[in-house]
């Protein structure tokens, strides 16, 4: 683990206090763990992710920072560039096989992610079908009506889904991304 010492560490802290995804109760911070992430330029980053415990059932959760897609080694901004339907080639330092895998992953998961966003919206009594600022037709991705089209849209999709425990934990589908 010698790389741990040589990398700059970024402490990940969510501003808002999120209720536990299991019981909706208070989460207490009980520690942290490190996770490596690759930036757009191909640089290694080291994240320090907080371990949180539910005050009700004592289940452990890990806070998902908004620059991370679960089980992927690259920043979500990189993946977002690649899966957007923009024609220009993405400026991401990753090999073609990795880029292709992200596109396939995105295509395969679009329906599931849309369903998860919809169920979160309904849970919070907001039906996005009613009020849409950006329509799916004008956005560069199919999630426009939920998260808009501004940069960071993939992070805005991933974070609520993961923090609501709706992220699919099918490791094989995400492995080695
Ligand atoms: Zn709980």
Q: Where are the domains of the chain?
A: 1-63, 72-177
57 CA → ligand 1 middle, Å: 4
How do residues 25-42 score in pLDDT, each as one tens digit? 888 889 888 878 888 778
144 CA → ligand 1 middle, Å: 32
36 CA → ligand 1 middle, Å: 27
Averaged in consecutive runs of 10 residues, what is the pLDDT profile of the chain (177 residues)?
42 57 84 82 80 90 72 82 71 84 88 86 66 55 84 84 69 36
164 CA → ligand 1 middle, Å: 12
1-9 long-range CB contacts below 8 Å, 24 or more apart?
A: 3/36, 3/44, 4/34, 4/46, 7/36, 7/44, 7/45, 7/46, 8/45, 8/46, 9/34, 9/46, 9/47, 9/48
How do residues 83-112 score in pLDDT, each as one tens digit? 886 656 667 778 888 888 888 988 888 888
Q: What is the pTM of this model?
A: 0.64
61 CA → ligand 1 middle, Å: 9
14 CA → ligand 1 middle, Å: 19
């Amino acid at each position: 683990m010698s790389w741990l010492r040589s990398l700059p560490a970024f402490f990940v802290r969510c501003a808002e206090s999120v209720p536990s995804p299991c019981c909706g109760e208070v989460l207490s911070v009980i520690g942290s763990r490190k996770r490596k992430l690759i930036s757009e330029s191909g640089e290694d980053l080291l994240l320090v992710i907080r371990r949180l415990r539910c005050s009700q059932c004592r289940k452990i959760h890990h806070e998902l920072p908004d620059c991370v897609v679960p089980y992927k080694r690259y920043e979500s901004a990189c993946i977002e560039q690649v899966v957007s339907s923009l024609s220009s080639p993405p400026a991401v330092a990753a090999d073609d096989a990795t880029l292709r895998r992200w596109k396939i992953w995105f295509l395969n998961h679009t329906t599931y992610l849309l369903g998860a966003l919809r169920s979160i919206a309904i849970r919070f009594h907001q039906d996005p079908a009613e009020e849409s600022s950006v329509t799916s037709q004008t956005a560069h991705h199919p999630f426009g009506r939920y998260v808009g089209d501004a940069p960071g849209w993939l992070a805005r999709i991933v974070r609520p889904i993961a923090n609501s425990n709706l992220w699919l934990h099918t490791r094989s589908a995400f492995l080695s991304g």
